[in-house]
Amino acid sequence: MCLVVPAKLFVLLIVFEVCNGYNFNLEDIFGFVGGLKFNPAEYLKVNKRDIFFNLHTPNYPYPREIDEDNLDLVENDKPVKILLHGWVGNENVRTYQNITREYMKKGNYNIIHVDWRNVAVLPYAVASVCSKDVAKVISSFLLNLNEKKRIPMHQFHLIGISLGAHVAGLAGKQIKEKLNTQIGRITALDPAGPLFEFPPAKESEKLTKYDAKVVDVIHTDGGIVGALKPLGTIDFYPDGGIRPQEGCPLIPVEKDVGDSFFCGHYKAVEYFIRSINSKEFVGVQCKSWLKFKLGHCKGNKDNIMGENLIPERQGSFYLH
């Protein structure tokens, strides 16, 4: 696999590696100047033993690992929320805990934490290419739930963070190819930009609006760590979907460069958590952030960002 890598992406990949404690090895990742050349299979062959699924329900408030042998633990009359972390994440991240807590306040759900850390821990470029294989394990798991527990596809809601958003999209594609039907919903929280939007990946290799009946996207660090272009049936752009987001620095703070660099990227997660039990974020449909700021979109239809959106109101929505 060979791709031309622009200077902006080259710098971003180095920042991704350094900020997360990796030794960036040019010989491992970049086979030649100006190109990206590697074989992910040399690093990892993904199989189902690399991915773990942990269930939370009102009856099981503490995580219970589930597989094809104990699917009976999943309650087939309850909606199923599947959480997918991003690069270098894992099932123990506070994000999973906070999302689960808010859903448990809201009602009765099957909350499934997907732990794909064995792949996500790899260098970003490798983990990105392996995301399709991760998605195969997830789609196979959902197909099992559909077949053995008779859970209809519209009951599945995948919530993907950053790179996990593309994994969710790829899983949705695979299910659609297999059953000729779509899962109910994918929520993409600032889907990753490098190697997906810049340089642009094929639609078959990233999240698109066709991967579920409803694909809602919250953009918060577009053009840097996240994707800026619309990817869903509904795209939300708080503060234009770009940095600086509220409470985040425009330029990383020297003493805390990692957290401050990714601050805007993780704002999408924060907004979604707050939205689960509220309707506080309302976006207005508009053609651009500039037109929105100039007041050219007053009177246009609006939509609620996050969990409680109105699926029929499609398009791009902006909010402060």
**Active site residue ranges:** 162, 190, 265
Residues in the chain: 320
Q: How far is Cα 304 from Cα 52, in angstroms, rounded to an integer?
A: 32
Rg (CA), the chain: 19
For residue 57, which amino acid is it? Answer: T
Order of strands across the sheet with 212-218? Answer: 60-66, 52-57, 110-115, 80-84, 156-161, 183-189, 212-218, 234-238, 315-319, 282-285, 302-304
Question: Six-digit token pair at 37?
Answer: 């050349």
Cβ within 8 Å of residue 117, ≥6 positions away? 85, 89, 90, 91
